[in-house]
Structure 1
Amino acid sequence: MSTTTSTTTTTTSQAPASYSVALKDKDTLTASFNYWGSTSIPQESDILRIFNGSSTELQRVQCPVTDIRALGLSSFNLSTHGFQVLRHSSALLPPQSDSVPDFHNTDLISATYWPELVSLLKAQLGVRSAAAVNTTVRDVKETDRDGFDPKNPRFVKQSMQPFFIVHGDYTPAGARAQLRAVVSTYFEDNNNMEGTTESERTEFFRLRDEIIAGEEEAMRQEGIGDHWHWSGKNYTGPRWAMLSVWRPLEPVRRDPLGVMDPRTLLQPSTAKPPYIALQRVYKGRPGFAREFRSENILAVAPDQQQLGNKMHTHQWYYISQQTPDEVYALKLFDSEAHRGRGDGGRSESEEVAQFVAHSAFTLPQQENERLRRSVEVRMMVIW
Structure 2
Amino acid sequence: MASITTTATATLLTKAAPAMGGDVETTINYHPAGMDGTLNTVIPGTAGSYRRKFDPASVTIKDIRGQENQFSLAEQGFQLLKHTSEEKEFMDKDRIKGTAFPEVEELLKKTTGATDVRIFSHIVRRTPWESITKEIEEKQIPDEARVGKIGPAHFAHIDQGPLGAQQLFDETLSPEEAARFSRTRWGIINVWRPIKPVRRNPLALCDMRSVPDRDLIPVYTRAPRDYGSYTAEKMAKSYQSMTAKSNPDHAWYYASGMTPDEVLMLQIFDTNKAADGSSRRTLHSAFSHPDDQALEPRESIEVRSLVFWENEPIEA
Q: Same fold (TM over 0.5)?
A: yes
Secondary structure of 1:34's counterpart equals strand
Question: Percent of aligned pairs with the same residue?
Answer: 27
Q: What residue ranges of structure 2 are gaps of 5+ in the alignment?
A: 1-20, 227-234, 310-316
Deviation of 1:182 after TM superposition, in Å, equals: 2.1
Of residues 370, 378, 382, the one that matches 2:296 is 370
The amino acid across from 1:118 in the alignment is E
Q: Is the 8 A contact 1:250 1:323 kept in 2?
A: yes
Deviation of 1:322 after TM superposition, in Å, equals: 0.7
Q: Is the 8 A contact 1:32 1:60 kept in 2?
A: yes
Distance in 2 of aligned mates of 1:30 and 1:370: 21
1:248 matched to 2:184: no
Change (3 A) 1:50 1:329: farther
Q: CA RMSD in A?
A: 2.8
Deviation of 1:30 after TM superposition, in Å, equals: 1.9
Of residues 182, 185, 193, the one that matches 1:239 is 185
Distance in 1 of aligned mates of 2:113 and 2:71: 16
Q: Which residue of 1 aligns with 2:167?
A: 177
Q: Which residue of 2 aligns with 1:79?
A: 74
Change (3 A) 1:300 1:134: same
Deviation of 1:27 after TM superposition, in Å, equals: 3.6
Bigger Rg over Cα? 1
Q: Which residue of 1 aligns with 2:217?
A: 276
Deviation of 1:31 after TM superposition, in Å, equals: 1.5
Q: TM-score, normalised by structure 2?
A: 0.77
Q: Which residue of 2 aligns with 1:208?
A: 178
Give the paired residue count. Answer: 271
1:108 matched to 2:54: no
Secondary structure of 1:181's counterpart equals helix
Secondary structure of 2:104's counterpart equals helix
How do 1:1-383 and structure 2 match up within 5 A?
A: 27-40=22-35, 41-44=38-41, 48=46, 51-52=49-50, 54-56=51-53, 58-71=54-67, 73-93=68-88, 101=89, 103-141=90-128, 142-143=131-132, 145=136, 155=148, 159-182=149-172, 184=174, 208-212=178-182, 237-266=183-212, 273-282=214-223, 284=225, 291-302=236-247, 312-337=248-273, 347=275, 354-383=280-309
Distance in 1 of aligned mates of 2:245 and 2:56: 10
Distance in 1 of aligned mates of 2:120 and 2:264: 17
By relative contact order (CA 8 Å, sep 6+), the higher-ranking structure is 2
Distance in 1 of aligned mates of 2:178 and 2:113: 17
Secondary structure of 2:100's counterpart equals helix
The amino acid across from 2:181 in the alignment is I
Distance in 1 of aligned mates of 2:143 and 2:165: 22
Deviation of 1:39 after TM superposition, in Å, equals: 3.2
Secondary structure of 1:336's counterpart equals coil
Distance in 2 of aligned mates of 1:65 and 1:370: 21
- Bigger shift: residues 141-150 or 317-326: 141-150
Secondary structure of 1:176's counterpart equals helix
Q: TM-score, normalised by structure 1?
A: 0.64
Distance in 2 of aligned mates of 1:31 and 1:207: 45
